[in-house]
Amino acid sequence: MATGSASGAKPPPHDASEQVSLIHLRKAEREIVWLRWLGMAGWAFILWRGDAADVPWAWGIYAGGVAYTAFAHWRIASASSVLSSARITTIGDPLLVTLMCLVTGGIGSPFFPFYYFTLLAAAFRFGWRETVGLLVLNSGLAVLLHLLAPGLRTGLAELAIGVFYLAFSTLLGIMLARWAQENLDLAADRARALSIARDRARALLRRLIRTQEEERKLMAGDLHDRMSGHLFALRQGADRTNDAEMSAVVESLSQDVRAMMNELHPTVLDELGFCVAVEEYVALQRETASFALHLLVDPELKNWRSAADAMLFRILQEALLNIRKHAGARQVSVIFERAEGNAARLRIVDDGRGFDPRVPRPSHFGLLTMRERAEALGGTLEVSSVPGQGSALTVTVPRGRGCVKKITVYLIDDHHVLRQAMAEMLGAEEDISVVGQSGEA
């Protein structure tokens, strides 16, 4: 069965898995560091309360525990290897507990339950094998405590109960860790699926936008080819008959056809460039707009031409249409200026009612379309708005064609012919890059 990845070029599976594991391990270590500090606070309370306070070694071992905790914190906070730090503390934690139990009553010590926490921490940091290995170590240390610190409460029965609790803690930790990992994996799978679906939807939208622009251009060309001859014949007939009324109708019809052609695909955009097309469009909008419309063009951009012009013009059209429909503005400014590098910035600012860009609305589909147009050019689109304080839309595009982000796909299928056919089909798409294929899942 064929599957695909919509991320970057496929890394070796083991390397990717190890990277994810290290990220989770570092996060777990940072949280365990604070739990270790909390444990030190608990130890201080137990000693201060009077349990084993008469043992001189107890406070000395506690001071060593604080130093050990600070050392572990420093290693995690620094650029030290998180894996080596985790291994050191996995062994160091039960050894520290053993030292404290050794001078405070052996298995009956109030510090003995801290063994359970070391097992739970290991279960969440590592797999079940490492946790079982730590169980063996902790059980051995419990036997050592039974032999070295015997007392009234540390008979064989107490030893057996202590080992049982250690085993129970191990099992509980493994079960909880596995359950948490399964939920993390499920969430990661869903996130990947959503990311792939989003990338596919955006690629589809980019293709729809490109197809729409091509269709607009074709329709404008067809309208010109079919109507220009008829209008010319009508104008000649009106001139021959000196019919002023017909001449006026023909002239009005010609203007309507030119306006329709400019809406579909402004010819001035191809002939004279983006700035002239914007000046004509803004002048036309001023005649019917309910707001004052201002245009500011950087003199250095008067001769601006790029592959982005058509889509940039569409963004301007869509933005002004949205302002007409929703903004209720009195003043609108269109600003075309230089940006960093060989790029330009188009800003449309209004003093309308504004909105909250973080709240999705059905009417925001126009913003999505404009954003996709900008990203298809290798540019960016930013919207800033506050309810009651107007809004500003900023589009930044490179002078060149830009770098469109492609969906990268790694094909996996055990049928060679089908895999090859899919590779050829996907490779023909501009928005998709096939980075590799394999016959084994």
Q: pTM of the entire structure?
A: 0.46
Q: What is the mean pLDDT of residues 418-426?
A: 65
Q: Is the per-residue pLDDT at 434 higher than 60?
A: yes
Does residue 165 carry a pLDDT above 80? no
CATH top-level class of 267-398: alpha beta
Is a pLDDT exceeding 60 seen at residue 7? no
pLDDT at 403: 41
Model pLDDT, residue 206: 67
How many whole angstroms separate alpha carbon 89 and alpha carbon 69? 9
The predicted pLDDT at position 400 comes to 56
Distances (CA, A) of 355 to 33, 333, 350, 386: 44, 18, 12, 6
350, β-bridge pairs = 332, 391
The stretch 95-116 carries a mean pLDDT of 84
**84 three-class SS:** helix
Q: Using 50, 70 and 90 to split pLDDT, how confident is the model at 359?
A: low
Residue entry with tokens 């469109």: 404
State the SS3 of 2-29.
CECCCCCCCCCHHHHHHHHHHHHHHHHH
Per-residue pLDDT of 32-49, as tens digits, reads: 888 888 888 888 888 887
Element (DSSP H or E) covering residue 407: strand 407-412
Task: Using the predicted structure, report yes or no on whether residue 121 has a pLDDT greater than 70.
Answer: yes
Using the 8-state DSSP alphabet, how is residue 436 labeled? E
Tens digit of each residue's pLDDT (9 = 90 or more) over 196-252: 877 777 677 667 767 777 777 777 777 777 777 777 777 777 777 777 777 777 777
Residue spans of the domains in the chain: they are 13-197, 267-398, 407-438
The number of residues making up the chain comes to 441
Q: How confident is the model at residue 350 (pLDDT cuts 50, 70, 90)?
A: confident
* pLDDT recorded at residue 415: 63
pLDDT digits (tens, 9 = 90+) for 263-285: 776 667 777 778 888 888 888 88
The mean of the pLDDT values for the chain is 75
Q: Are strands 380-385 and 391-398 parallel, antiparallel or unpaired?
A: antiparallel
Cβ atoms of 99 and 61 closer than 8 Å: yes
Smallest CA-to-CA distance from 381 within 322, 373, 366 is with: 373
Sheet strand arrangement including 391-398: 292-297, 331-339, 343-350, 391-398, 380-385
Instruction: Tell me the pLDDT tens digit for each residue of 289-318.
Output: 888 888 888 888 887 777 777 778 888 888
Burial (CB count within 10 angstroms: exposed 0-12, middle 13-18, buried 19+), residue 312: buried
Share of the chain above pLDDT 90, in %: 0
For the chain, the farthest-separated pair of C-alpha atoms sits apart, in whole angstroms, at 128
Tell me the C-alpha distance between 122 and 71, whole Å: 19
* Residue 375: how many other CB atoms lie within 10 Å: 18
- DSSP SS3 for 108: helix
CA distance linking residue 342 with residue 401, whole number of Å: 12
- Read off the pLDDT of each residue in 334-347 and give the average, rounded to a whole number: 84
Among candidate residues 334, 339, 363, 338, the one with its CA nearest the CA of residue 349: 334
Q: Mean of the pLDDT values across residues 350-372?
A: 70
Judged by average pLDDT, the poorest of 18-27, 150-159, 213-222, 376-385 is: 150-159
